[in-house]
Amino acid sequence: MKKWKIAVLSMLALCIVVFVVYIVYLIIDDHSVVPGNPVDYHTKDELTELYWQNKDLLNSVKDNVLSSDLFMNAMNQERDGDIAINAKEDVQYFTKDEWASIVSVFEKMNPSMIMMERKGRPLIFYIVFGAQKQDSITKKTYLFWFPNEDERIYHEEPGVFPDGVFTQIEDGWYIVEKTRTR
């Protein structure tokens, strides 16, 4: 009888240890593109400066994302009309050099995700940054690339991108500032 109690208690202790190890693994194992990389809020001026410092890199990543057949197939399977790059697992859609460029954007600009969107329209590319909360106001910035003027106009419509203020940086590139009051 004593051996039976020892066996049950040992099994119980082993289960607890395995559970604790699993929880620690979940906490430590960061699935983001750059592990431990914070998501930053950038003002329009900060984002403009980051754009000019990384213009060639951003254009390269935009072109790679929009031309990736594997990424496009994944977006078509989602059926939401958009798809994000925000996890290590997204490496499967890109070549080694393309992925290195994407990681570089995450390291230099600290976004939460890179997005490709269609939603029944031409492809657009954008980068989502963190939010800044002050009292009842939340501010958020995005860096958008639109393929043409019609798409920018469409996205400025109140029903599509409410509360968005669009500021052009360069041909096709815009900073969108969104402010919400709770």
Q: Is the pLDDT of residue 94 over 90?
A: yes
3-state secondary structure of 124: strand
Residue 147 reports pLDDT greater than 90: yes
For range 59-76, the mean pLDDT: 91
| Whether the predicted pLDDT of 125 surpasses 70 | yes
Residue 15 has pLDDT above 50, yes or no: yes
| CA dist., res. 127 & res. 156, Å (int) | 17
Average pLDDT over residues 124-153: 89
pLDDT higher at 53 or 75: 53
Say yes or no to pLDDT of 98 above 70.
Answer: yes
**Confidence class for position 65, pLDDT limits 50, 70, 90:** very high
Rounded to two decimals, the pTM is 0.79
67-to-31, 53, 123, 148 alpha-carbon distances in Å: 24, 23, 10, 17
